[in-house]
Amino acid sequence: MIWWGLIWLGNLAGGVVTTAPERGDVMEDLKQAIHQAYTGEAKATLRLKVFAEKAREEGHPQLAKLFEVISLSEEIHARRALRLLREIKETQENLAECFESETKVAGVAYNQFIKLAESSGDKDASQYFSQSRDVEETHANLYKEAMGHLLQDRETTYYVCRVCGYVADGLLPEECPICGAKKEQFVICGDQ
């Protein structure tokens, strides 16, 4: 896993055992530690997938396989941490949380990121942030539909743009409405 241990050491006060802290403090520190593990493992999962792609590009399929398998292992750690945090609610509540989060992420965080990227003159970053913001808005709509029980009675196939992450519901577009990628760039998803 990647370098998050040192951040954790910087974040927590330390001296957990020697200073005989209050029980409430210990439980709060423990929760923070589990959350730190979840974050570190989730990042490692992702990073190792990208290392695997890189290894494959460089003609090292065995090393790619190693990165992939350790990525899966880190994913198992992250899921286990998330279960320990007991933050997973019932599905309707999870949907509502997702809708609310997407709205904030698109309307607040990504909008700030876009301003920052524009002021820096970094066009790749500007494009990344603005396309991601637009995609997060479409996620919010998908969650909203699902909260309105519109999904219950129909089977649907999704198509996901590999470039910007746009999710098309039921119909493969000729090109991505967010980033303009051709339909060949889409992956079919969710068929079982």
Site for a second copy in 102-121 (CB under 8 A): 102, 104-105, 108-110, 112-113, 115-117, 119-120
From the CB of 24, what's the least distance to a second copy, in Å?
10
| One of 22, 96, 99, 122 touching a second copy (CB under 8 A) | 122
Q: Is 73 in the site for a second copy (CB under 8 A)?
A: yes
Nearest CB to a second copy, comparing residues 171 and 187: 187
Report the alpha-carbon distance of residue 183 to residue 60 in Å, rounded: 30
From the CB of 174, what's the least distance to a second copy, in Å?
19
From the CB of 137, what's the least distance to a second copy, in Å?
12
Question: Is residue 98 within a helix (H) or strand (E), and if so which, with residue range?
Answer: helix 91-104
Question: Is residue 138 within a helix (H) or strand (E), and if so which, with residue range?
Answer: helix 123-147
Nearest CB to a second copy, comparing residues 69 and 172: 69
The 8 Å CB, 24+ separation contacts for 45-51 are 45/71, 45/72, 45/74, 45/75, 45/78, 46/71, 47/2, 48/74
Nearest CB to a second copy, comparing residues 13 and 174: 13
Tell me the residue type at 74. Answer: E
Number of residues that bind a second copy (CB under 8 A): 110
State the pairing for strand pair 158-161/186-189.
antiparallel
* Residue keyed to tokens 């698109």: 106
Nearest CB to a second copy, comparing residues 23 and 171: 23
Restricted to residues 151-190, the positions that interact with a second copy (CB under 8 A) are 151-152, 154-156, 158, 160-167, 187, 189-190
**Beta-carbon count within 10 A of 172 CB:** 12
From the CB of 116, what's the least distance to a second copy, in Å?
5
Report the alpha-carbon distance of residue 121 to residue 157 in Å, rounded: 38
Nearest CB to a second copy, comparing residues 87 and 174: 87
